[in-house]
Structures are given as structure tokens and as C-alpha cells.
């Protein structure tokens, strides 16, 4: 009597075998997966951190960018100048009395040819130098600050310097910078004013 009675309802419970997943369910899941992938591709932005709603992807964001003002060189030049040059020459190009000559209105900066002025940040300069009727001694001289830049960057800085604060000199191209660099890969010391004056104003 203490034998377990056979429960008839146990037979209807789910068994532990491997039931076949119906084919239509697999098909439905594949279709849902595909639709999800297409939706993600169109709207997910592919995890690009620049894409925020309501933009759906970077291609769409690119189409809504502001029209280029054609001033990319000046933007880059201003940024590099303010980060590296402005400590001595000031953000407004006025320089420091007796130490760093002004760039705004300087006859060296405003020369029509750019050959000499490329040499100054590329190889450094030691004073004294006469700018706008004043003599600047420049302490230990100016280090070759521009040697670290790519030709594009140095050209951008020089173009910014030559066109900001009322300066009106022609832009400097990366090719002109590369030409100076190919002629003279290094210079043992900073340039002096006399050496600079021996250089032609325009590239030979």
C-alpha cells in the first residue's frame, strides 16, 4: 500500500527530451534578426560618438555640416599659434617689450616673399633684431619652434601670422616650407639677423 501510485497526469508534463523547434519559429527569428540588423545599420550610427539623435549616421551628419568658409588653414594656424607662440608674441601679436618682437605690423612678417620668415621658426633666431624701429635682444634667442610641425602646420601658422592683426602678406604654402627644409635639413645654431639678411626674400 505504501507504493507510490502512478500519477496519470505526470505523463502529460513536458519531458526532458529534445523537442524539435518548429521550422516557422526559426524562420521568424531569422527575419526579425535581419530586420533588426537593417534598422541598426540605418539608425545606429555604428557606435560613432559624434552621431547623436536626431542624426542617424555619420553620412547624414556630414550632409548637415555648415558650408566650408575656406578658412581651415587660418583656423589651424590660429590654434597652433595660440598654443605655442602666443606665450612670447602674445595672442594679439604685440610681442614683449625688449624680449619678443611684435608680429603685428612687423616688416619681417609683412615681406612679400616668405623665404626668410620660414627660416625663423624652422631654425630659430638669436637677436638683436630691429623691428618697427626698436631693438629686441630675445634673451636666449628663439628656439626652432616650427621644426616639430608638418609642412602643412608650419605653413598654417605662418599664414595666420601674416594675415592676422592687420597684416596683409600673401599666404605661405606647404610646398614653400618643404623647399626650405629640403635645402637645409638642420642648422647648427640659431640664425642671426645678418645671416637672415643674406637670404633672398623670395625663394631662389
Name the residues that contact another protein, by CB under 8 A: 47, 49-55, 61, 63-69, 71-72, 74-76, 78-79, 82
Least Å distance, CB 63 to another protein, is 5
Least Å distance, CB 25 to another protein, is 24
Based on CB atoms, which residue is closest to another protein, 24 or 52? Answer: 52
Handedness of CA 154, 159, 160, 162 (dihedral sign): positive
CA distance linking residue 63 with residue 57, whole number of Å: 10
Least Å distance, CB 12 to another protein, is 27
Least Å distance, CB 17 to another protein, is 19
Based on CB atoms, which residue is closest to another protein, 82 or 175? Answer: 82
Based on CB atoms, which residue is closest to another protein, 74 or 147? Answer: 74
Torsion, CA 96, CA 101, CA 107, CA 108, rounded to 10: -140
Chain-centroid distance of CA 77 in Å reads 10
**Residue that the C-alpha cell 551628419 belongs to:** 61
Task: Measure the N-to-C terminal CA separation of the chain; round to a whole number of Å.
Answer: 118
Least Å distance, CB 78 to another protein, is 5
Least Å distance, CB 82 to another protein, is 8
Residues facing 100 on adjacent strands:
96
Based on CB atoms, which residue is closest to another protein, 70 or 188? Answer: 70
Based on CB atoms, which residue is closest to another protein, 75 or 143? Answer: 75
Q: Which three cell numbers stand for residue 95?
A: 610681442
CA distance linking residue 37 with residue 116, whole number of Å: 59
Give the number of other Cβ atoms within 10 Å of residue 203's Cβ.
15
Handedness of CA 60, 65, 67, 72 (dihedral sign): negative
Based on CB atoms, which residue is closest to another protein, 74 or 88? Answer: 74
Amino acid at each position: 500500500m505504501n507504493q507510490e501510485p502512478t500519477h496519470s497526469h505526470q505523463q502529460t508534463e513536458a519531458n526532458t527530451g529534445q523537442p524539435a523547434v518548429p521550422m516557422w519559429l526559426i524562420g521568424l527569428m531569422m527575419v526579425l534578426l535581419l530586420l533588426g540588423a537593417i534598422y541598426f545599420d540605418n539608425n545606429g550610427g555604428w557606435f560613432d560618438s559624434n552621431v547623436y539623435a536626431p542624426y542617424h549616421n555619420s553620412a547624414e551628419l556630414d550632409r548637415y555640416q555648415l558650408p566650408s568658409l575656406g578658412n581651415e588653414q587660418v583656423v589651424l594656424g590660429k590654434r597652433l599659434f595660440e598654443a605655442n607662440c602666443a606665450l612670447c608674441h602674445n595672442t594679439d601679436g604685440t610681442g614683449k617689450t625688449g624680449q619678443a618682437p611684435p608680429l603685428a605690423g612687423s616688416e619681417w612678417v609683412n615681406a612679400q616673399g616668405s623665404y626668410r620668415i620660414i627660416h625663423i621658426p624652422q631654425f630659430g633666431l638669436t637677436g638683436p633684431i630691429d623691428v618697427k624701429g626698436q631693438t629686441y635682444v630675445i634673451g636666449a634667442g628663439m628656439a626652432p619652434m616650427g621644426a616639430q610641425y608638418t609642412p602643412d602646420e608650419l605653413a598654417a601658422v605662418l599664414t595666420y601670422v601674416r594675415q592676422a592683426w592687420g597684416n596683409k602678406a600673401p599666404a605661405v604654402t606647404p610646398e614653400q616650407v618643404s623647399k626650405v627644409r629640403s635645402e637645409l635639413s638642420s642648422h647648427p645654431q640659431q640664425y642671426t639677423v645678418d645671416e637672415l639678411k643674406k637670404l633672398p626674400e623670395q625663394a631662389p
